[in-house]
Amino acid sequence: MSRLLVGVCLVLLLTACGPKQLEPDDSFVCDNCESWNEPQTPFRIYGNTWFVGTAGLSSILVETDEGLILFDGGLPQSAARIDANIRELGFDPLQLAAIFVSHAHFDHAGGVAALQRLTKASVYTSVEGAKTLSSGELQANDPQYLMGAENTRFPAISGVVTVGDGDVIAIGGVDIKAVYTPGHTPGGMTWAWESCALGGCYNVVYADSLTAVSADGYKFSGGPAAQQIIDSADAISLLDCDILLSPHPFFFGLQEKLQKLGDGNPFVNNVACSIYAENLLGWLERRLQSERGMSPLAVPDLDGG
């Protein structure tokens, strides 16, 4: 083999082994996709915990001694933004060791398959959530299930790892506690961990959505979801919680808090989980009143939730 040919082969080999990254994929369409997927500059929340999601969908990065952890992957088209945000912070997405999913709807799990293919990360969720993640289709017991609906599907995820309620997953010195919080979906998960910096530690809670939203025709008053939301809200309110995060940044006031970053850390609030739980119980009560014909439902339009 000539030296020239050897050189060309080496160049091609090095190029193939170079940094991989995701390309944008805008093939998935939904009413709120464009606004949800607006770019958001990534930033540190506290200690080893960072926001790497979009303006309308949370994705949380945690640095550990044995790789990176990610919570939620947004829409299918969010994966490329999350990948770019991780790189912008100076981290290598290929060091992603685990992805934890809050609930298996297209707006939070849609980008997970692409991120998993890129990084080979393990994906964790509940037993019920794994059924949806593995198929990419909502189960019939999900309040947002609608037979034949195409816009609720998302890329299926292989090799999903299931965890039990109260289980703790230890990765690189960080203990992630799993808390079952069904209601918005049958497999909803809340995740909690401790984040430390400069000798101070805070309990971070990534509280799952508990909004009482559904497909047309579903009634919360006629099934188990209403009581599940009540029980799940109670579970979240009882957690040690200094920093509240959630799948939709709207629910923890992301943009308002970013305006206050110069005045200490606005994300620290040890009653935030209790307030979150109370607000969502209020949402449920308005939904039940609406089903009884007592008053109109007045809640923000979050579509997938």
Do 284 and 220 form a contact (C-beta atoms < 8 A)?
yes
CATH number of 31-291: 3.60.15.10
Structure tokens at 41: 């500059």
Q: Which residues are catalytic?
A: 103, 105, 107-108, 184, 218, 248
Sorting pLDDT into bands at 50, 70 and 90, what band is 160? very high
pTM higher than 0.75, yes or no?
A: yes
Task: Mean pLDDT check: name the lowest of 17-31, 64-78, 142-156.
Answer: 17-31
Q: What is the pLDDT of residues 104-150, one digit of tens each?
A: 999 999 999 999 999 999 999 999 999 999 999 999 999 999 876 77
